A and B are shown apart, each in its own frame.
Chain A
Amino acid sequence: AQSVSQHNHHVILSEAASLELGCNYSYGGTVNLFWYVQYPGQHLQLLLKYFSGDPLVKGIKGFEAEFIKSKFSFNLRKPSVQWSDTAEYFCAVNAQGNTPLVFGKGTRLSVIA
């Protein structure tokens, strides 16, 4: 069965600091990879996705993620965080072919001034 691990439960950063959130998955086949964000009181929104091709994907709001197949990783990065990035971030994976999403437990990001 697939599983997704997010290494950090809660990350606290100052504004303008760089961000990297870890995500590792276990699955032997071809996968799609996603990062979703849930702002306080709002619904899950897609930040970025990887289906195939260039392993460095860029998403909304300056976020990017790199798929490293050999490490089964899909880490999320942002060079300079803002207070408005305070949210919960979820990594998710599914096997290609309309299969259910498997989510990590999430990482809560708090950005302080």
Chain B
Amino acid sequence: KAGVTQTPRYLIKTRGQQVTLSCSPISGHRSVSWYQQTPGQGLQFLFEYFSETQRNKGNFPGRFSGRQFSNSRSEMNVSTLELGDSALYLCASSYPGGDEQFFGPGTRLTVL
């Protein structure tokens, strides 16, 4: 079974731009969660989607948004990028009713 995939793997943007990251969960998984990983703050929860609905949301500004499609694939969008948004963005999926999350390789976003 293929794992969680994320595209692109690396991204360089400049301040003020916006970016969209994509995540394809493991087949059969319907829950997708997003995390931001930085050296200073560690891993912080952004949001979780289940069946195209946002089920949980972390403490991030409204510039961070996401969505989920009917095939469970998810995208997250960051508008008006700031230098502090440079991070590794991780996506994780889980099967219905499951508490274990399976992580993708991440998208490394650098904001210049």
Among B21-29, B68-76, B98-106, the stretch that binds chain A is B98-106
B56 and A90 contacting across the interface, CB-CB below 8 Å: no
A99 and B42 contacting across the interface, CB-CB below 8 Å: no
Classify the secondary structure of B's interface with A. Answer: strand
Contacts of B44 in A (CB 8 A): 103
- Judge whether B43 is part of the interface by a CB distance below 8 angstroms: yes
- Judge whether B31 is part of the interface by a CB distance below 8 angstroms: yes
Those of B3-37 within 8 Å (CB) of chain A? 31, 33, 35
A42, A51, A102: which contacts B99 (Cβ < 8 A)?
A51
A99 and B56 contacting across the interface, CB-CB below 8 Å: yes
Classify the secondary structure of A's interface with B. Answer: loop
B104 and A43 contacting across the interface, CB-CB below 8 Å: yes
Those of B71-98 within 8 Å (CB) of chain A? 90, 92, 94, 97-98
Instruction: Tell me, in angstroms, the Cα distance from A103 to B88 when the chains sit together.
Output: 15
Instruction: Tell me, in angstroms, the Cα distance from A31 to B19 when the chains sit together.
Output: 35
- Judge whether A105 is part of the interface by a CB distance below 8 angstroms: yes
Interface size on A, residues (CB 8 A): 24
Interface size on B, residues (CB 8 A): 26
A101 and B33 contacting across the interface, CB-CB below 8 Å: yes
A100 and B100 contacting across the interface, CB-CB below 8 Å: no
- Judge whether A24 is part of the interface by a CB distance below 8 angstroms: no
Instruction: Tell me, in angstroms, the Cα distance from A100 to B58 when the chains sit together.
Output: 9
Contacts of B90 in A (CB 8 A): 43-44
12 extra interface residue pairs, beta carbon distance < 8 Å, beyond A44-B103, A103-B43, A105-B42? A43-B104, A43-B105, A44-B90, A44-B92, A45-B103, A51-B99, A98-B55, A98-B94, A99-B56, A101-B43, A103-B35, A106-B42
Q: Which residues of A contact B (CB under 8 A)?
A: 32, 34, 36, 42-46, 49, 51, 90, 92, 94, 96-106
Going nearest first, the 9 A-B pairs with the smallest beta carbon separation are A103-B43, A44-B103, A105-B42, A100-B45, A43-B105, A32-B99, A100-B56, A43-B103, A103-B42
